Amino acid sequence: MSSKAPYHHGDLPTALVRAAIELLEEGGATALSLRAAARRAGVSTAAPYRHFADRAAILSAVATVGYQELLADLIAASPDPSTIDDLADIAIAYVRFALKKPGLFRAMFTEQCDITSPDRVTAVAEITTYLHTMVTKVRPASDSGSMAIAMWSLVHGLAFLFLDGKLDSSSDDAVETQIRGVVATLTASVPG
């Protein structure tokens, strides 16, 4: 009789999500599969299916982590935004997140996820609430819903322009200068 205890991974879903994020950062979306995440986590290729039905399910879990980390970065940049400078700080944090974690960022916004995943839906709602609250404080006379969408669209577009090499991301200063200029231009031209 063997005295070896059966192998137990611990928190396998978290390990698989972390493995998936690593794969995304190293090789992009094409590098991610449940089998690849299992190999990276050091478990059998059948193990992920106990926790994730398919690739969309693990991508939803990955996106949830990404949205939570992004929100934490936005809040750290400006916990209680009330000025245009705070708005610029948040925009800079958003773009820096994208530049620091391009594989995760692209997966969050360009990969097919399970749109009904409760954790993902909650994480997106938390970011949306933060953005609406910020806009209400920074631009109280504006339609907060429309302004939040406009600001998110602007910053999101900037993030992809930086990621795709269309804007100068050679230094943190270059990124910050460009974003502050764009935010100043937008907010000066929009009543609120």
pTM greater than the 0.75 cutoff: yes
Contact 92, 176 (CB under 8 A): yes
DSSP assigned state of 82: -
CATH number for the domain harbouring residue 17: 1.10.10
What pLDDT is attached to residue 70? 98
What pLDDT is attached to residue 97? 98
Domain count of the fold of the chain? 2
What pLDDT is attached to residue 190? 63
What pLDDT is attached to residue 1? 41
Measure the CA–CA gap between 53 and 192, rounded to whole angstroms.
46
What pLDDT is attached to residue 143? 83
In this structure, the answer to whether residues 94 and 25 fall within a common structural domain is no
In this structure, the answer to whether residues 35 and 111 fall within a common structural domain is no
What pLDDT is attached to residue 26? 95
Flag whether 4 is in a domain. Answer: no
In this structure, the answer to whether residues 27 and 91 fall within a common structural domain is no
Flag whether 43 is in a domain. Answer: yes
In this structure, the answer to whether residues 109 and 45 fall within a common structural domain is no
For residue range 103-116, what is the model confidence (pLDDT) as tens digits?
999 999 988 878 78
In this structure, the answer to whether residues 43 and 71 fall within a common structural domain is no
What pLDDT is attached to residue 111? 84
Contact 47, 10 (CB under 8 A): no
Flag whether 57 is in a domain. Answer: no
The parent domain of residue 90 ranges over 64-189
pLDDT < 70: residue spans in the chain = 1-9, 189-192
Closest CA to 114 of 159, 72, 53: 53
Q: Exposed, middle or buried, 137 (CB in 10 Å: 0-12/13-18/19+)?
A: middle
In this structure, the answer to whether residues 132 and 179 fall within a common structural domain is yes
What pLDDT is attached to residue 113? 77
Flag whether 157 is in a domain. Answer: yes
